């Protein structure tokens, strides 16, 4: 229940204004007390996020209000279509309902629901309805997001070619990293043997997918890792760009001045 009190206080005497403020404070206290009493009873809980990987398993945990004595439980898939997945009535579990999860569900004694193996189309909203011995209900809604496992990325090395036919003192390389047919991924780079590397001789482009490095002969053993990740998995490839610099230096006499040459770098194992 809510109370709305609108009072013009400007023209009221001081004692009346004090009385109005006292009444307003009393109503606020009463409203807060009633809301606290309502909070003591089961309500719907939404917004829980659960993540899983294609081919793996995920546990949808049924959590209820403390002291809630569960008599019945009903698990449903809400999106993209509403389907009955599993039920429990007085300790008797049932999961053989016709749905796209048939044969891939397991309901545990704590009323949590396990799904396996996961498929890419399993992402969506799920709900569990719990009923206690007094007939009160508690509903929990969870959002499941299923991600593909990240494959090993492919790294290509692009060498900036100058017109100087002599062996270069420096080599500018662009390392391009990518994985096919995967969404929701993040690219990052790491210089092997270090936790991080400075930005003076490095640059990132295309949201971290391309790394620019400037190398000299002293960097011939320097390797870089392209790390591709999503919320549930990651993979990486290690490359040594100086090998491509040397290879390109041997072809400079036949290369066009101020051009860019492409090398597909073989990953280091």
Q: What is the CA radius of gyration of the chain?
A: 31
The values of phi and psi at residue 243, to 5°, are -60, -40
Q: Is the peptide bond before 117 cis (omega within 30 degrees of 0)?
A: yes
Mean pLDDT of 224-250: 87
Integer Cα distance of 219 and 243 in angstroms: 10
* Residue of 96, 198, 139 lying closest to 86 (CA atoms): 96
Please state, in angstroms and rounded to a whole number, the distance separating the CA atoms of residues 52 and 231.
9
Is residue 19 pLDDT above 70, yes or no? no
Q: What is the pLDDT of residue 22?
A: 46
Q: What is the pLDDT of residues 157-175, one digit of tens each?
A: 998 876 555 455 788 899 9
Per residue in 90-107, pLDDT (tens digit) is: 889 999 999 999 999 999
The answer, as to whether pTM is greater than 0.75, is: no
pLDDT score at 6:
41
């Amino acid at each position: 229940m809510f109370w709305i009190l609108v009072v013009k206080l400007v023209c009221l005497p001081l004692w009346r204004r004090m009385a109005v403020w006292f009444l307003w404070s009393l109503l606020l206290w009463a409203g807060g007390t009633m809301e606290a009493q309502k909070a003591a009873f089961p309500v719907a809980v939404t917004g829980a996020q659960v993540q899983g990987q294609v081919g793996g398993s995920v546990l949808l945990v049924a959590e209820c209000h403390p002291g809630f004595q569960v008599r019945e439980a009903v698990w449903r898939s809400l999106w993209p279509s509403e389907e009955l997945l599993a039920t429990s009535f007085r300790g008797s579990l049932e999961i053989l309902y016709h749905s796209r999860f048939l044969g891939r569900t397991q309901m545990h004694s704590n009323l949590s629901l396990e799904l396996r193996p996961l498929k890419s189309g399993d992402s969506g909203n799920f709900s569990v309805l719990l009923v206690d011995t007094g007939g009160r209900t508690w509903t929990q809604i969870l959002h499941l997001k299923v991600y593909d496992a990240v494959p090993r990325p492919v790294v290509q090395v692009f060498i900036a070619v100058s017109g100087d036919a002599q062996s270069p003192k420096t080599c500018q390389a662009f390392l391009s990293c990518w994985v096919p047919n995967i969404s929701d991924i993040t690219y990052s780079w790491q210089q092997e043997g270090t936790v991080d590397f400075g930005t003076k001789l490095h640059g990132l482009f295309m949201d971290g997918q391309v790394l620019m490095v400037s190398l000299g002969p002293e960097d011939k053993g320097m390797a870089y890792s392209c790390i591709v990740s999503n919320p549930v998995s990651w993979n990486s490839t290690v490359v040594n760009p100086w090998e491509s610099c040397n290879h390109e230096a041997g072809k400079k006499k036949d290369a066009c001045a101020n051009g860019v040459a492409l090398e597909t770098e073989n990953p280091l194992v």
